[in-house]
Amino acid sequence: MTPRTPLIAGNWKMFKTGREAVETAKALAEKVQTVSGVDVMIAPAFTALSLVSEALKETNIALGAQNLHWEMEGAFTGEISAPMLKAAGCSHVIIGHSERRQYFGETDETVNRRIKAALEHDLVPVFCIGETETEREAEETFSVLDKQIKKGLEGFSFGDLDKLVIAYEPVWAIGTGKTATTEQAQEVHGFIRSMIGDHYGDTLAKAVRILYGGSVKPDNASALMAMPDVDGALVGGASLDAETFSRIVRF
Ligand code: PGA
């Protein structure tokens, strides 16, 4: 297993046409080409993947998708499979983002199937978990995360998960400008790592990268990244602009 190289990932959500995505990807590649010791990934919309894949050739930026279906192919109108993502040049895929859970009926069970499909097809799953504001206020943060992790990773053994990346994204911090404090982030990341340790052993717990997501910006990235259990960031809004995102990459 590799040591925990920080991963800074950009989730472009439903922004940017193919052409716009290529422009930003190229500008970003130029700005981060000399950066070392950090993995960088961007996840444009499905329609931009192939184009951006071309643009990222011979750069140090990996390509991710924002979702996938668990079947390889079939009559599933509107869905995209793991082999299709691989063919489009993806190495990563975001799974179980809170917007998918909130607006598109994603459940822990479907998240589990999607993670399985990603792993079977050699895609790095960026498995998103996080509590809502109501859950945090009711002091349910840890029990919510415990359930999301247990169900999301049900049926996997230690050996299946060496590629896994976890993204902790408190729902109340996404797109709101509210960031978890560094202490809040560290507390939860520490909890997630110890949970992984309890279920899969120390080796995986030490190797798994846990990203923080939710209003990460250039001015809060370095403080978050200084926390011992924060291994990177999943960035939404601030990843859309090459200059801003490159400053986060250089945290
Ligand atoms: P944000 O989004 O950085 O705009 O808060 C993060 C995410 O949804 O992954």
| Angle, helices 18-32/242-249, rounded to nearest 10 degrees | 40
- Tokens at 98, concatenated: 């809170």
Four-point Cα dihedral 109, 110, 111, 115, nearest 10:
110
Candidates 97, 106, 131, 135; catalytic one: 97
Take atom 1 of ligand 1 and give the residue whose Cα is closest: 236
Separation of CA 237 and ligand 1 centre (Å): 6
Take atom 9 of ligand 1 and give the residue whose Cα is closest: 236
Return the pLDDT at 1.
45
Domain assignment of residue 107, yes or no: yes
State whether the beta carbon of 237 lies less than 6 angstroms from ligand 1.
yes
Take atom 2 of ligand 1 and give the residue whose Cα is closest: 236
Q: What is the number of structural domains in the chain?
A: 1
Buried b (16+ CB within 10 A) or exposed e, 72-97: eeeeeeeebbbebbbebbbbbbbbbb
Take atom 6 of ligand 1 and give the residue whose Cα is closest: 236
What residues make up the domain containing 204? Answer: 7-216+225-249
Domain assignment of residue 181, yes or no: yes
Separation of CA 7 and ligand 1 centre (Å): 15
Residue 219 CB contacts under 8 Å (≥ 6 apart), including other chains: none
Over residues 101-150, the pLDDT tens digits come to 999 999 999 999 999 999 999 999 999 999 999 999 999 999 999 999 99
Over residues 189-200, the pLDDT tens digits come to 999 999 999 999
Residue 232 sits at the vertex; the CA angle it makes with 224 and 101, to the nearest 5 degrees, is 100
- Whether pTM > 0.85 for this model: the answer is yes
Domain assignment of residue 38, yes or no: yes
- Ligand 1 atom nearest to 234, measured from its CA: 9
Return the pLDDT at 179.
85
State whether the beta carbon of 235 lies less than 6 angstroms from ligand 1.
yes
Return the pLDDT at 213.
97
Return the pLDDT at 175.
87
* CATH code: domain of residue 155: 3.20.20.70
Question: Where are the alpha helices (H) located in the chain, listed in sequence order?
Answer: 18-32, 49-55, 82-87, 98-103, 108-120, 133-137, 141-152, 182-200, 202-207, 218-225, 242-249
Return the pLDDT at 106.
97
Report the 10 Å Cβ neighbour count for 2: 8
**HEC string for 153-202:** CCCCCHHHHCCCEEEECCHHHCCCCCCCCHHHHHHHHHHHHHHHHHHHCH
Residue 200 CB contacts under 8 Å (≥ 6 apart), including other chains: 157, 158, 161
Q: Which of 166, 140, 142, 148 is nearest to 229 (CA)?
A: 166
Domain assignment of residue 1, yes or no: no
Taking the chain (251 residues) in runs of 10, the rounded mean pLDDT of each run is 85 98 98 97 98 97 98 98 98 98 97 97 98 95 97 92 95 89 96 96 96 96 97 98 98 95
Q: Which amino acid would we find at residue 247?
A: R
Separation of CA 224 and ligand 1 centre (Å): 15
Domain assignment of residue 2, yes or no: no
- Ligand 1 atom nearest to 214, measured from its CA: 5
Is 154 among the residues known to form the active site?
A: no
Is 189 among the residues known to form the active site?
A: no
Domain assignment of residue 21, yes or no: yes
